[in-house]
C-alpha cells in the first residue's frame, strides 16, 4: 500500500496511543536491525513511525517494544514527507 490510501480508514479494532522505541528485524535479512517509534497499539497489532523506508508488505519481523515482543507481519506502509508509518499484525 502506498501513501495514497489512508490506513486509518481500514481500522477494525480500537487503537490506543502508545510510545517508546521499537526494535525490528526482518526475518529474511539476518542481522539487519531497524529502529522505529511506537505510535499506537491494538489487540492484533501496532503502528510505528520510522525512517527505514517502505517495508516489504507481507514480510515477517521479529519485534520488541515497551508493550510486547514477538513476531509480526508488515500489513501496510503510509509514506509522509521525511518518514514512513508502518502497520503490523502480531503473529506470535
The whole model's pTM is what? Answer: 0.85
Domains detected in the chain: 16-90 (2.40.10.220)
Residue 7 — φ and ψ, nearest 5°? -65, -20
Q: Mean pLDDT, consecutive 10-residue segments, the chain of 92 residues?
A: 51 88 90 92 96 95 97 97 98 86
Residue 6 CB neighbours (<10 A): 11
55 pairs with which residues across the strands? Answer: none
Q: What is the pLDDT of residue 13?
A: 81
Contact 19, 37 (CB under 8 A): yes
**Straight-line distance from the first to the last Cα atom of the chain, in angstroms, rounded to the nearest whole number:** 23
What pLDDT digit, counting tens, does each position of 9-28 carry? 566 789 999 999 999 999 98
Q: What is the pLDDT of residue 2?
A: 44
Amino acid at each position: 500500500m502506498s501513501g495514497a490510501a489512508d490506513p486509518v480508514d481500514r481500522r477494525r479494532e480500537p487503537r490506543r496511543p502508545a510510545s517508546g522505541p521499537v526494535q525490528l528485524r526482518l526475518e529474511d535479512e539476518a542481522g539487519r536491525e531497524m529502529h522505529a517509534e511506537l505510535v499506537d497499539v491494538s489487540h492484533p497489532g501496532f503502528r510505528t513511525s520510522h525512517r527505514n523506508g517502505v517495508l516489504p508488505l507481507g514480510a515477517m519481523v521479529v519485534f520488541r517494544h515497551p508493550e510486547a515482543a514477538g513476531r509480526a507481519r508488515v500489513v501496510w506502509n503510509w509514506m509522509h514527507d521525511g518518514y514512513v508509518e508502518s502497520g503490523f499484525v502480531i503473529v506470535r
